[in-house]
Amino acid sequence: MQRAPVLLFLAWVCFLFFAAIGLFTSGFLLMRVELANRSSCQDPPLASPLEGTGAPLRSCWLPRRFPKAVLVIIDALKFEFAQYDSSRQEPRPYENKLGALHQLISLQPQHARLYRFRADPPTTTMQRIKGITTGSLPTFIDAGSNFASYAIQEDNLIWQLAQNGKRVVFMGDDTWDGLFPRAFFRSYFFPSFNVKDLHTVDDGILQHLYQTVDGGEWELLIAHFLGVDHCGHKHGPDHPEMAKKLSQMDEMLRSLVDHLANDTLLLVAGDHGMTGTGDHGGDSEEEVNAALFVYSKAPLFQSDPPKAPETVPQVNLVPTLALLLGVPVPYSNIGEVMAELFAVADDAISSALAQLAAYSINARQVSRFLHSYSLAAQDISAEKLQHLQDLFSAALEEHEWLSAGARSPALPQLEHLQSLFRRYLWEARAVCAASWARFHLPRMLAGCALLASACVLCYVASHVASGVDFPYGRLLLCPVLSGLAGAALLGLAHLCGWAGTDPALLSAWGAAASQLGFFWLWWTRRSRRSHAGSARPPSGDAGLRQRLWAALPWGILLARCSAMLSDSFVVAEARVAPFLLLSLVLLLGLQLHWEGRLEGSPFPVRLLGLLGGLLACVRLSGLFQQCREETPCCRSSPLLAPLSSLPDPQAKNFYYVLCLAVLACLAWGVRCWLSHYGNLNSPGAPVLFVRWGFPLLAVCIGGYWAITSGAEEALVKLHEWVRLALAAFPRGIFGLVLMGLLLVLWDPVTVFVRDSREPQVMGAPVVSPSSQAELLHVIPQLYRRMQQSLKSRLEEAKAGGSATVAAYGLGSVYSAALLISLALLGFLLVTLHSERLSLAFLLLSLEAFVLLRMHACALALSSSQADPFVVPWYAIIAWAFAATQFFYATGHQPVFPAIHWNAAFVGFQEGHETNLLPALLVGANTFASHILFAAGCPLLLLWPFVCEMPPTPKSKKPKVDPHDREEQMMEMRLREAPERFSAALLQLGLKYLLILGLQMLACVLAAIVLRRHLMVWKVFAPKFLFEAVSFVVSSVFLLLGIGLVMRVDCAVSLWFKQVILAQSR
């Protein structure tokens, strides 16, 4: 059997897909160019900014208005949380809780004001921090680094304050530590990633806030509270805990106002909002509408507040706060100053002049940035730059004309000039937002073409692999060498300065060169064999019907891929995927009926029962789906919530017992299967682990659920014990799963041989092989000898004799190792989900079993025509559809707010030192169904052999003795033709990669065609990212699953050698 070449060939094909996805991603999700330029007092955007202004000392560009400012960031402070509506008789838990803000606005309208603080998507915390400190717009791809917290290299408000002698004190979310390392005069960081922790960060801030304010050793104090955001993630906004947390923030603000000096500016802001489920990350109105509250004990505003709060983009905070504190505006800022805060208490003309000065500096700074940016990048077209320059020049000329006038300008003239500057700043920001969403179309097209050619390669290679003379060495070595040569040429061109490159382009170039090498070899080989005889497909009506039936599964797959171009389909895919799966299975039944294979056989009733079971699993799996925000009429399943959210103790106990029963069913099902096929009799370590380790795993998971299902108040009372158990139980589960997997790899042969007395010679003796070829010839003989010996033992047992040799579990040795491994992975993945989702994993197991049984029955009915070494396309497509179906049936959606971040803290309540482990845990939670179905893909090849039975006769004959079924070779038939076994595994892997690759190609085409669609960043871009990650995860676990089968094959060969040597002595 060719083991290493098969795995290497599949790994190479996976690399081709990865390179194509990477190249497309580099053109689709672009990051804008970050300039290294920094603003300074010595290099102002205008010639003499302080001339005639009477600026105080330590001011820069514009006289400072406040010597100190306090910025309180309440994470996820939605505008509705800060708004007060006295007409509500029964407010919801998040309404009317910040009464301090309403009281200040009502009693001191010249001192306080509330704004809608509009965030730019993506609405993740790190991107919002970048926005409110740099004044720029983070791009979409930054969302992927939300928990990596790469240090900000651009000019920013924190750096400007530190460079100009201002002391910045920070307390709260430790994300700031990664963004601004060693940038604060004093800091108090608290871990932020644990979304279940509502109090650690907030309580830590309150311990230092008031004494720090009273100490006065600061010019800017930043306090970033996280409790509201974490409460939204854990409970949602409409929960009593949210009312408690907002009331705590209200008390904090009341106390903070009492500690403020008269010359201190208070800013209370939310970095983003939250959806009705407490999530964020997208661009819905609920997520982008945060709140901004501005207050000072000195008068701030010269006019009464408007009836409806104004909307202020978050980037506007940066130039406003910088000029108010007397420091330069960060170089890359594209925000607009909040002119109201620059009005003075004198007459209207003086206020307009002060506001105009702020506008002028702001516009000059933005113009300087655009000029520098246009030299460093080509993102903004020359026409748009010229249009912006014309607007700026017109405003500047009028400003200079008014400044040169002998008389003081009239108020309408000043207001008109302000409107010119506002228009320029608004259009500059709009142009930047549109330009930074530009795509690198050549890379996108090249990545799409490379992905399409990889799919064609998979199809071609799967057909070539069906032959026993598949040239592994040539079809693998030559493409790899050509790919390395292509990558080396591009690298040499880069070193010589002839061409620029990056890792994505380099890998894509190598992948393209290696594909050319493969297709050249395939074409030359095909030309040489073009005159060789081959079996012709059936002709006439029968051949046409056969081709039409074979094309129907492809038609369903094509329908799914084509529908990726519809945002409505992507939104409704959770309901469409099960429908397509059922349609595919029904077509299989219709095909069997149409071809007359069900007549005179016992299979119709069995198939009908299996179809009913599949329908039940599909329908019940719909009870565990989460709704997207685009479907307001939909309600997410209450079964997704953890048991701790249930207020009724009886309901909680009922679901807890039900979940324990699910664990028992999963462990019992695997044990029964192993017992049925004789693998449970093996004395090997994996079987011992199944006997004792599986119950222990179930006990550990049940104990963990018993703790997490308690109310939060109860957990606080048992603080130390709970903390120990919350870490010990999951880590014990992780350790047991790892131990079980290592035992399967170490000793995967679950076979039991009983030799009760000296073996009787039954035919010619088995000679000890001297070579691998002889071993492959001897193994089937030995297996038949064992079967004959077992049959002899049964016959002697009836006559009162004794047995000689008995072998148990050899016919299912491959499937047994794979099922044990899948069960271990299942226990691990169940632990990473909420308790009641274990019911979804039970449905997943049942549906996979039903699909395998239906596949085995279909092959048994067509045994005269079908090659058992070739898995038909309908089975692989159905398997891939089931993986997609249970992605949604485990409470996931291809959007960032739907990610189950709680999985990162299963067993690690105190947080993580690195980002690798939480990323793995969250990834395993999100793509659990893809992991299980990809790793279990070899079962599609093995299961029909395990369920092997004699061909069904057309007429009734006497029943066969049940013991005669032991004579079937089952999985040992695979070892009769080791080369075909290798080719079958390779073909199966290539077919599965092709199905996944076609779905990936559909997402890529949708992203290219609809890149200017209104929903591209809301629907198509997240769908592409999730599909790309799921493809990578599925590819890795497909390789691991096939690798495990090959490890079992290697161990079986060694086991046979030992048996043969023992028999030859």
Q: What is the pLDDT of residues 411-422, one digit of tens each?
A: 888 888 999 999
Average pLDDT of the residues in 254-281: 89
% of the chain at pLDDT higher than 70: 82
**Is 90 exceeded by the pLDDT of residue 251?**
yes
- Please say whether the beta carbons of 35 and 334 come within 8 A: no
Q: What is the pLDDT of residues 874-894, one digit of tens each?
A: 999 999 999 999 999 999 999
696 closest CA partner among 669, 662, 663, 661: 663
Range with the poorest average pLDDT among 247-251, 517-521, 953-957? 953-957
Confidence of residue 472 (pLDDT cuts 50, 70, 90): low
Confidence of residue 821 (pLDDT cuts 50, 70, 90): very high
Tell me the whole-structure pTM to 2 decimals: 0.76
pLDDT for the residue 768: 46
Range with the poorest average pLDDT among 463-477, 753-767, 772-786, 798-812? 753-767
Which of the two residues, 77 and 790, has the higher pLDDT score?
77
**Is 60 exceeded by the pLDDT of residue 713?**
no
Confidence of residue 791 (pLDDT cuts 50, 70, 90): low
> What's the angle, vertex CA 476, arms to CA 473 and CA 478, rounded to 5?
95
Average pLDDT of the residues in 630-642: 82
Q: What is the pLDDT of residues 474-483, one digit of tens each?
A: 666 777 777 7
Confidence of residue 308 (pLDDT cuts 50, 70, 90): confident
Taking the C-alpha atoms of residue 388 and residue 396, their distance in angstroms, rounded to an integer, is 12
**Is 60 exceeded by the pLDDT of residue 966?**
no
% of the chain at pLDDT higher than 90: 40
Average pLDDT of the residues in 9-31: 88
Taking the C-alpha atoms of residue 697 and residue 825, their distance in angstroms, rounded to an integer, is 11
Confidence of residue 976 (pLDDT cuts 50, 70, 90): confident
- Please say whether the beta carbons of 175 and 126 come within 8 A: yes
**Is 50 exceeded by the pLDDT of residue 566?**
yes
Helix (H), strand (E) at residue 291: strand 289-296
Residues 6+ apart with CB under 8 A from 170: 176, 180, 184, 186, 187, 188, 189, 221, 222, 223, 224
Taking the C-alpha atoms of residue 659 and residue 702, their distance in angstroms, rounded to an integer, is 8
**Is 70 exceeded by the pLDDT of residue 759?**
no
Strand partners, 189: 172
**Is 90 exceeded by the pLDDT of residue 1015?**
no
**Is 90 exceeded by the pLDDT of residue 498?**
no
pLDDT for the residue 766: 44
pLDDT for the residue 278: 81
**Which of the given ranges, 28-32, 895-899, 1032-1036, has the highest pLDDT on average?**
1032-1036
Confidence of residue 50 (pLDDT cuts 50, 70, 90): very low
Taking the C-alpha atoms of residue 735 and residue 724, their distance in angstroms, rounded to an integer, is 16
**Is 70 exceeded by the pLDDT of residue 906?**
yes
Which of the two residues, 546 and 149, has the higher pLDDT score?
546
Averaged pLDDT of the chain: 82
Q: For residue 848, with 0-12 CB atoms within 10 Å meaning exposed, 13-18 middle and 19 or more buried, which class applies?
A: buried
DSSP line for 213-235 = HHH---SEEEEEE-HHHHHHHHH
Average pLDDT of the residues in 846-856: 93
Helices (H) and strands (E) in the chain, counts: 36, 10
3 state SS of 805: strand
Range with the poorest average pLDDT among 288-302, 588-602, 728-742, 992-1006? 588-602
Confidence of residue 953 (pLDDT cuts 50, 70, 90): very low
**Is 60 exceeded by the pLDDT of residue 778?**
no
**Is 60 exceeded by the pLDDT of residue 209?**
yes
pLDDT for the residue 49: 38
pLDDT for the residue 543: 59
**Is 60 exceeded by the pLDDT of residue 131?**
yes
Structure tokens that stand for 520 in this block: 């050249």
Average pLDDT of the residues in 326-334: 92
**Is 80 exceeded by the pLDDT of residue 158?**
yes
pLDDT for the residue 306: 85
Confidence of residue 618 (pLDDT cuts 50, 70, 90): very high
Torsion sign across C-alpha atoms 341, 344, 345, 351: negative
pLDDT for the residue 758: 44
